[in-house]
Amino acid sequence: MTRLSVNINKIATLRNARGGNNPDIIKAAMDIESFGAQGITVHPRPDERHITKQDVYDLKKVVTTEFNIEGYPDDRYIHIIEDIKPAQATLVPDKPDQLTSNHGWNTVKDAKQLREIIEHLKKICRVSVFVDANSDMVKGAKDCGADRVELYTQSYAENYLKNREQAIEPFVKAAQTAKEIGLGLNAGHDLSLENLEYYKQTIPWTDEVSIGHALICDALYYGLKNTVGMYLRQVR
């Protein structure tokens, strides 16, 4: 079964736009779990423009499904993982001021850095590495000791309507590589109701999809409970 982990960053963005606690992201996370999602994802960036460090500590008290914390593995992030002990740490190569993730790790070039960090974090939780749909990068993640890779799916989503078979081809190859070498497989970035079902059907051994922006946008029209249900149906 492919699990749905809902990224709640955008809910925090809305809250932060006005200050205060509306919408309440703690309640939102609890509701999302009650609606059937099997995980909650957050990405506490250094500037705290959406999820704050305090949010992560507050969420730890209430999240009962898999808690996935994304981030660049600097000292701040590693300290959070050590304290929170989530189900999964997803390492991304984002710069501190980056708007959103836009590329995966070069797991060959950055092997030394990743290997040391992964060795430490694996004593705490499962470790996933964010990579482009490239078999060499998948193999590099395995060599660095990662438990899983998360395939960066932006190019698939961008080209889905043009030619979905062509768009998904590199992802199938990368996913097959992960399967052959014993790596768990996640996916995320711009997956939506439009393109998620085909991705899941084509790569059914995907362990988890992490979806935030599209899901929260859809919730404006369909309601949060209904939207979570719609996404769950896409991955079943």
Beta-bridge partners for 88: 68, 126
Verify whether residue 189 is a known catalytic residue. Answer: yes
Among candidate residues 33, 50, 189, 208, the one labeled active-site is 189
Using CA atoms of 208, 30, 229, 43 in order, give the dihedral in degrees to the nearest 10.
-40
Over its C-alpha atoms, the chain yields an Rg (Å, rounded) of 17
Residue with tokens 């189900």: 87
- State how far the alpha carbon of 71 is from the alpha carbons of 107, 157, 185, in Å: 16, 22, 18
Verify whether residue 169 is a known catalytic residue. Answer: no
Collapsing DSSP states into helix, strand and coil, what is residue 101? Answer: coil
Among candidate residues 66, 70, 150, 208, the one labeled active-site is 70
Verify whether residue 66 is a known catalytic residue. Answer: no
Token pair for 234: 């896409």
Q: Residue 84 phi/psi, 5° resolution? A: -80, -35
- Residue numbers annotated as active site: 43, 70, 189
